[in-house]
Structure 1
Amino acid sequence: MKNFYKYSVLACAILLAACQPKSEPKESQESQDPATIQQQTEPTLRGESVKVALTLPECKGNTCPDFVVERLQSNFSFIDQFLDEQILDQLSKMLDVVDADKAISTVQAAEQKPNLDTQVQHYANAFIKIDEELKALSISHQISLLVKPKILQTEGSLATVVLNSSSYMGGAHGSTSQRYYNFDLVNQKQINLNDLLLAKQQAALKKLAHDAFKAWIVDSKLANNPEEYEQAWPFEMTDNFLLGENGLILQYGEYEIGPYVVGLPRLVIPFDQLKGVLKPEYLPKVDVPAASTVVADTKSKT
């Protein structure tokens, strides 16, 4: 009887243990990588360039004028609107046509906010008129114009979009440009070059850029003596920039610091020279081993 009672109690204990609800394993917050958490919450610029809808005359052959303008459609409307304004400004510089500007002013007077398609169409009409005038002079060159934005850097301290432009209007050669625009996605604003700098570091950055300019002259074999080169092409600072993998890139346009043959010059200032000049958040992050990793490595060696 005692044995029966003992085994009955043991069986009940086993059944009670089996009926207890199992607790779900909880993921320790300490095990989550802070970098992963930041990456999940960090805003990302996504989008693509799409052609502006235009009405152009029908044309066949190798001498048909080629007019292509694309705009950015992204998940940040403030960037799209900003780029629209830059596209119109670039078209105004490339064509330098008074008739187009007058036509746009007329539309703006009739409409409070004319859409981009309407405004670009006026520049397209002016472009076609130029082609007709060239053809009337028996100039059969194919003229062309292209304006296209492209997303380069999508996240991190800066998101970067480049506006590429090129044109050929029947002269000795065409023209190209690359303009970079940098944005703070968290605060939704454009970031200028001075915004990257620590206090009172403009002169230090200019000196670094001037040194890079002199090195570029020698490396490009434009002159043996930079001082002589600067008599014809003096150094000047630019606000057209982007952060590359190796340093701060200063982008120049045609004829800004050199003749047409040098194209679109770039000066690169390495990040190691920019410590104390740029704000820390714009410098590459240095990976520091976790304390637990250091302790583990120390124990393994002993």
Structure 2
Amino acid sequence: MTQALLKPWFLVCTLAIGGGVLAGCQPKSDVQPEAAKQQSQNKENAISAIQAKVVPVKLSKPEACDAEGCIQYDIQTVNSNLKWIDDYFIARIKKADPIAFSTEPNQKINTSDGAAPNLSQSSTYVRFVSQYYDQATFAIQSYSYSAGAAHGMYHQEFVNFDLNTKKRLALEDILVKGAEQQVLDALYDANTMWLEQHNIERSQLKLSDNFYYGANGLVFVYPLYELASYAEGMTELNLPYAAMTQLIKAEYLPSLPHYPAP
């Protein structure tokens, strides 16, 4: 009696297990669900939020010397979550200061009577400035002092990247084709008082390719002595975004509020 009751139960279990095995052996569909496809595409198109810190660069020659004296180097760059940006700045630095990375031994300094060995300085610092979705801005600050000079010389260059194309943006890349003269006129109009105080006529002003995205407008940066004295420092001229809505390509124009008409 017991055996008779067990046999049907055993058959049912065997069929159920067998059915499970057969079901598990069915070939999987090669077609991804639409949601998974969309998620994968979104991940590929996502723009990373930049995380960057300033770190010292290891130099072969922190102090490079020849017969006339030495140059002391202090170089710092960014270490970010985007390697191609880090590589860009290291390449720039090595090209600008190849001696600091040279493995050639230093020359002996001339210390004979009447000799006056020089001690000069060269500093380069790279830092992260800001990010506007797929556009990021960094700054290269440099300082050099040659022994015997009245003062050192400094410069700050802003480097703007398109994070989609992984390329540096020049001014011509963000402007509407043929808009340069209109931008120049608008820049002069927006800074007329300061420019006239420095005796700079409209025909003398040129567009600078050194620029960055400011809080209220595109900021054009000019080197020492170009528009003002050394004491006044590097000149920055601001051109409000509201004056550039038809002059900057849509993909490079920050999102602006709809201000009421005056």
Scaled by the length of structure 1, the TM-score of the pair is 0.58
TM-align CA RMSD? 3.6
Distance, in Å, in 1 between the alignment partners of 2:163 and 2:189 is 32
Q: Any stretches of 5+ residues in structure 2 without a counterpart?
A: 1-41, 64-69
After TM superposition, list the pairs within 5 Å mapping 1:69-218 onto structure 2. Answer: 69-91=75-97, 100=99, 120-122=100-102, 132=109, 137-138=115-116, 143-170=120-147, 171-212=149-190, 214-218=192-196
1:46 maps to amino acid: Q
Deviation at 1:243, TM superposition (A): 0.6
Deviation at 1:183, TM superposition (A): 0.8
Q: Deviations over 1:235-256 (max 9, x none)?
A: 2221111111010001111222
Change (3 A) 1:271 1:80: same
Change (3 A) 1:258 1:175: same
Distance, in Å, in 1 between the alignment partners of 2:94 and 2:56 is 14
Of residues 208-217 and 162-171 in structure 1, the stretch that sits farther from structure 2 once superposed is: 208-217
Match in the other structure for 2:55:
50
Q: Secondary structure at the match of 1:50?
A: strand
Q: Percent identity?
A: 24
Q: Any stretches of 5+ residues in structure 1 without a counterpart?
A: 1-36, 58-63, 93-99, 101-119, 289-302
Moved over 6 A (4+): 133-136
Change (3 A) 1:287 1:202: closer
Q: Secondary structure at the match of 1:154?
A: strand
Q: Number of aligned pairs? A: 209
Bigger strand share: 2
Deviation at 1:213, TM superposition (A): 5.4
Distance, in Å, in 1 between the alignment partners of 2:218 and 2:151 is 30
Match in the other structure for 1:282:
252
Bigger helix share: 1
Conservation of the 8 A alpha-carbon contact between 2:222 and 2:234: yes
Change (3 A) 1:286 1:250: closer
Deviation at 1:133, TM superposition (A): 6.4
Deviation at 1:88, TM superposition (A): 3.0
Conservation of the 8 A alpha-carbon contact between 2:94 and 2:101: no
Deviation at 1:287, TM superposition (A): 5.5
Conservation of the 8 A alpha-carbon contact between 2:62 and 2:74: no
